[in-house]
């Protein structure tokens, strides 16, 4: 939990509220997210929520649904994906419902997951990767003190048919540790 948000694992029955948000936010999601090729059905969203629940329990990917504490409305999704448990190293991903953007919810949720990864999971490195043209996404990383480490040119295919390739920015935050200096 944060000051304004409740973060919880997806569960059976969440497909409908997530589907409504995806459909309302589809133009934004389609532009930046590889998984948003077409609008899903409610049944597809429900299956995805159940899959996320299983993956959460297995510690393969910790997807959290965001709800406003005040109105108990669905706000968006943040995820913490282990990239290497031996380090341990994680990647954070996120998206916000169109009706709740520009209110700082995503930044608040990413701050919470960053703290969780460092304090509870002993992370030494957390990455945020985003399209180089996705200003809103990389502003979240910058606000939270993530450092831009690089730009991978023509790293993935674009979801935009007018542009074949896209560049990816990699931001990272490293846990302060005197033994690595």
The domains of the chain are located at 5-180
pLDDT of residue 160: 64
Strands (E), the chain: 5-8, 62-68, 74-84, 89-96, 125-131, 147-157, 165-174
Judge contact between 49 and 147, C-beta under 8 A.
Answer: no
pTM of this structure? 0.89
Residue 100 CB-half CA count within 13 A: 23
Judge contact between 107 and 143, C-beta under 8 A.
Answer: yes
pLDDT of residue 72: 85
pLDDT of residue 110: 98
pLDDT of residue 29: 84
Name the stretches of the chain with pLDDT < 50.
178, 180-181
| pLDDT, tens only, 57-102 | 999 999 999 999 987 899 999 999 999 888 899 999 999 999 999 9
pLDDT of residue 181: 43
pLDDT of residue 103: 94
- What three-state secondary structure class fits 173? strand
Spatial distance between the Cα atoms of 107 and 94, rounded to a whole number of angstroms: 10
- Six token digits for residue 17: 């509220």
pLDDT of residue 35: 80
**CATH topology (fold) of 5-180:** Aminopeptidase (3.40.630)
């Amino acid at each position: 939990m944060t000051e304004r948000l409740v973060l919880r694992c997806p569960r059976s029955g969440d497909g409908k509220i997530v589907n409504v948000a995806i459909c309302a936010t589809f133009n934004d999601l389609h532009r930046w997210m590889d998984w948003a090729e077409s609008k899903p059905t409610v049944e597809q969203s429900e299956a995805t929520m159940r899959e996320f629940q299983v993956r959460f329990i297995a510690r393969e990917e910790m997807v959290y649904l965001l709800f406003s504490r005040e109105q108990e409305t669905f706000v968006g999704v943040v995820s913490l994906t282990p990239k290497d448990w031996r380090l341990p190293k994680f990647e954070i991903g996120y998206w916000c419902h169109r009706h709740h953007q520009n209110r700082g919810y995503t930044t608040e949720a990413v701050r919470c997951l960053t703290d969780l990864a460092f304090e509870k999971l002993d992370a030494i490195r957390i990455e945020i990767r985003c399209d180089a043209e996705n200003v809103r996404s990389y502003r979240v990383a910058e606000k939270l003190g993530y450092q831009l480490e690089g730009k991978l040119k023509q790293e993935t295919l674009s979801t935009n048919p007018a542009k074949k390739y896209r560049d990816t920015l990699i931001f990272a935050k490293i846990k302060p540790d005197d033994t690595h200096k």
